[in-house]
Amino acid sequence: MLDMKFVRENPDLVKENIKKKFQDEKLPLVDEVIDLDKKKRAAQQEADELRANRNKLSKQIGALMGQGKKEEAEEIKKQVAQSAQRLAELEKLEKEYDEKVLADMMVIPNIIDPSVPIGKDDSENVEVTKYGEPLVPEYEIPYHTDIMDRFDGIDLDAAGRVAGNGFYYLMGDIARLHSAVISYARDFMIDRGFTYCVPPFMIRSNVVTGVMSFAEMDAMMYKIEGEDLFLIGTSEHSMIGKFIDTITPEEQLPKTLTSYSPCFRKEKGAHGIEERGVYRIHQFEKQEMIVVCKPEESPMWFDKLWQNTVDLFRSMDIPVRTLECCSGDLADLKVKSFDVEAWSPRQKKYFEVGSCSNLGDAQARRLKIRVKAEDGSKYFAHTLNNTVVAPPRMLIAFLENHLQADGSITIPEVLRPYMGGKEVLVPKH
């Protein structure tokens, strides 16, 4: 969410930013919110004047009563009563204007970084760098669920009977591999100085609206019926929410946390054949990283965060690339975002396995996450988040890149301590 003062002073810049995001339908909101803010401030000023005058008249009443001038005092009391009625009207107007301003401000997108490429949708995202050699073996790479089936590692039919489409049972070595990746990712981030955390898996509505746009909320979040609680779509939500309504001394920054959680998503819309199996699902597990820092440090932390994911995947011998999201593909709160994509030998292309985002002070402004400087002044922090690893998609990349011609799966050295020392997984079929 932008600062209202910034919008008031830079309406053309805000409108130009909306155009860059190809959201022209939101352009009228800028003038609307400025007009509402003007009316709110006018009502506020009149209310302040009435309060000051009421205090003055109250003193006069006291003085007149002390002098025995009851009739004059009664006349002034009538003026006070009229002022009180008008003041009540103004306070109601102030509240109405406040709510309307907030509703508009929650929809106006954040100002994107000048370095972000301009494009309408994800088809115009820009490749930044490739890491590792993307190889295609001479033998066939089956679909990931077919690979898992050879190890008796997945049961989609039973999951369908129990929970419906979009769920799965992982079994045996495949389930163990899933847990091994999560455990390795946890230790990987701890070794890089991040504090490990297991957060709440449900959050209140004020946290949801603080960390994401309304469009994202509708498309992703599951609501708990009868409760002011939502299941998290990613632990970033509750991790950033941890700092709601806090003031952190500047010397205690940055806050660098890595978290484990299950994640729950509606995943609205139809998906293609390549998103069957465990690619796009309603429930999965994830290791996440978040940073709360000083504004001037957020570009540096952005580069560190996506590099962590690249390094993790490369340590497991999986080729990856970074892709910069163009303006039209950025969610409204984001200033800048990179996707990390893993190589799929079967598809002969890369696919997304993680996303790194700098949100500037947008989340901090909504959640009142502030920093206290050495001089006592206060300002909003910057927040960033990035996927360390989400095993369902990670498993797809892992299985495809480590599948051998005989159907076995090699285990890279870094994962072997988490797999009981196993160097290779042998299929049952």
> What HEC string does 2-65 produce?
CCHHHHHHCHHHHHHHHHHCCCHHHHHHHHHHHHHHHHHHHHHHHHHHHHHHHHHHHHHHHHHH
At 275, the pLDDT band (50, 70, 90 cuts) reads low
Distance CA 255, CA 303 (A): 16
* Residue 142 or 53, more confident: 142
Instruction: Indicate whether 268 pLDDT > 90.
Output: no
Distance CA 328, CA 406 (A): 44
Q: What does the domain layout of the chain look like in residue ranges?
A: 4-105, 122-425
- Provide the pairing of β-strand 349-358 with 230-231: unpaired
Beta strands in 123-226 (DSSP E): 126-131, 154-155, 169-170, 195-197, 202-203, 222-223
pLDDT at residue 270, rounded to an integer: 42
Q: How large a percentage of the chain has pLDDT more than 70?
A: 92
> Please, which residues bridge with residue 369 across strands?
246
Q: List, for residues 150-166, the tens digit of each pLDDT value.
A: 999 999 999 999 998 88
* Residue 52 or 327, more confident: 327
pLDDT at residue 216, rounded to an integer: 78
Rounded to the nearest integer, the mean pLDDT of the chain is: 92
Q: List, for residues 199-226, the tens digit of each pLDDT value.
A: 999 999 999 999 987 777 878 899 999 9
CB 305 within 8 A of CB 358: no
* Domain 4-105 coded CATH 1.10.287.40: yes
User: What is the maximal distance between C-alpha atoms in the chain?
Assistant: 107
Q: Phi and psi dihedrals of 427, rounded to 5?
A: -65, 155
Distance CA 369, CA 371 (A): 7
Distance CA 356, CA 302 (A): 7
Q: List, for residues 304-356, the tens digit of each pLDDT value.
A: 999 999 999 999 999 999 999 999 999 999 999 999 999 999 999 999 999 99
pLDDT at residue 74, rounded to an integer: 64
pLDDT at residue 61, rounded to an integer: 66
- Provide the pairing of β-strand 255-264 with 195-197: parallel
At 85, the pLDDT band (50, 70, 90 cuts) reads confident
* Residue 151 or 73, more confident: 151
Residue 390: name the closest of 266, 237, 235 by CA: 235
Instruction: Indicate whether 418 pLDDT > 70.
Output: yes
The architecture (CATH level 2) of 122-425 comes to: 2-Layer Sandwich (3.30)
Tell me the CA distances in angstroms from 99 to 94, 95, 204, 237, 378, one per residue in order: 9, 6, 19, 24, 25
At 106, the pLDDT band (50, 70, 90 cuts) reads very high
DSSP one-letter string for 299-312: HHHHHHHHHHHHHH
- pTM of the prediction? 0.89
Omega within 30 of 0 (cis) for the link into 114: no
Tokens 């603080």: give the residue.
210
Q: List, for residues 374-400, the tens digit of each pLDDT value.
A: 999 999 999 999 999 998 899 999 999
Continuous segment of H or E residues that includes residue 387: strand 382-389
DSSP one-letter string for 221-284: PEEPTTSS-EE-SSHHHHHHHTTTTEEEEGGGPPEEEEEEEEEE----S---GGGTTTTS-SEE
Residue 332: name the closest of 13, 12, 9, 22 by CA: 22
The encoded tokens of residue 70 equal: 């009851």
Continuous segment of H or E residues that includes residue 389: strand 382-389
Distance CA 184, CA 205 (A): 33
At 86, the pLDDT band (50, 70, 90 cuts) reads confident
Instruction: Indicate whether 359 pLDDT > 50.
Output: yes
CB 108 within 8 A of CB 366: no
Contacts of 131 (CB under 8 A, 6+ apart): 310, 313, 314, 319, 320, 321, 322
* Residue 6 or 86, more confident: 6
Distance CA 175, CA 159 (A): 14
pLDDT at residue 119, rounded to an integer: 97
Query: Angle formed by the axes of helices 172-191 and 298-315, to 10°?
Result: 140
Radius of gyration of the chain (CA): 28
Lowest mean pLDDT across 24-28, 55-59, 170-174, 369-373: 55-59
Contacts of 403 (CB under 8 A, 6+ apart): 137, 141, 147, 409
Residue 395: name the closest of 156, 145, 135 by CA: 145
Tokens 């952005």: give the residue.
302
pLDDT at residue 273, rounded to an integer: 41
The SS3 call for residue 207 is helix
